[in-house]
Chain A
């Protein structure tokens, strides 16, 4: 199994550009998450989804959008990239709620906004 796959691994954007970070999982997990990781900080939850068609905001959702049309895919959209969105982004998934289920993380997508 591939687990959680994120693309691209690296991307440089200009201020104001838009892009989508792709995330797909092949474990039939119901829950999916997007986190960002800034230097010296813990992972911050951007958005999460408890199933296809259901999404909700996490701790730092501003400037991002998500959709969950299938169980497998959970893309993260940046509409107007800003330097503050320079970060490493991690997608994760779990079978059920994080209290009783292990999160599996992707390898990360490093985004730089100049």
Chain B
């Protein structure tokens, strides 16, 4: 089935560092979404991107919709311990029913 490739798979960083992760696909998407999943919880939407080239921020988070519409990037600046979790990208595919295709996830660990 369709799947988005995320990298890196995991990151272990020091508090205060900046973080970058990306998501790539062989297919074109019209919408890119970034979710965060806290341990033991369901994913929560962080940022939504609707146009190629769009750059959107949400506090310390910045995400970009790639110009080719086949990729997206998420940056977290000045990381803090509560940034720990799994970050998922998701692309919206229009197959009659608009299906969300999720990435494989990036696990982030932040050391105080």
Contacts and interface: CB of A to CB of B under 8 A. Distances in A.
Contacts of B3: 41-42
Contact of B88 (A42, A56, A107, A108): A42
A43 interface: yes
A112 to B, nearest CB: 16
A99 B31 contact: yes
Contacts of A102: 45, 48
B33 to A, nearest CB: 9
B85 to A, nearest CB: 13
B42 A40 contact: no
Nearest to A43: B102
Interface in B57-109: 88, 90, 92, 94, 97-105
The secondary structure that dominates the B interface is strand
A44 B1 contact: yes
Contact of A40 (B9, B41, B101): B9
Interface residues of B, number: 27
A107 B42 contact: yes
Interface stretch (A13-21, A64-72, A75-83, A90-98): A90-98
B112 interface: no
Contact of A43 (B30, B41, B43, B45): B43
Contacts of B42: 4, 90, 92, 105-108
A90 B42 CA distance: 7
A89 to B, nearest CB: 10
Contacts of A41: 3, 104-105
Contacts of B40: 107-108
Given A4-B42, A105-B42, A107-B42, A99 B1 contact: no
23 contacts: A4-B42, A40-B9, A40-B105, A41-B3, A42-B88, A42-B102, A42-B104, A43-B43, A43-B88, A43-B100, A45-B99, A50-B97, A56-B97, A59-B1, A97-B97, A98-B100, A99-B31, A102-B45, A103-B45, A105-B43, A105-B44, A107-B41, A108-B42
Interface of B: 1-4, 9, 30-31, 40-45, 48, 88, 90, 92, 94, 97-105
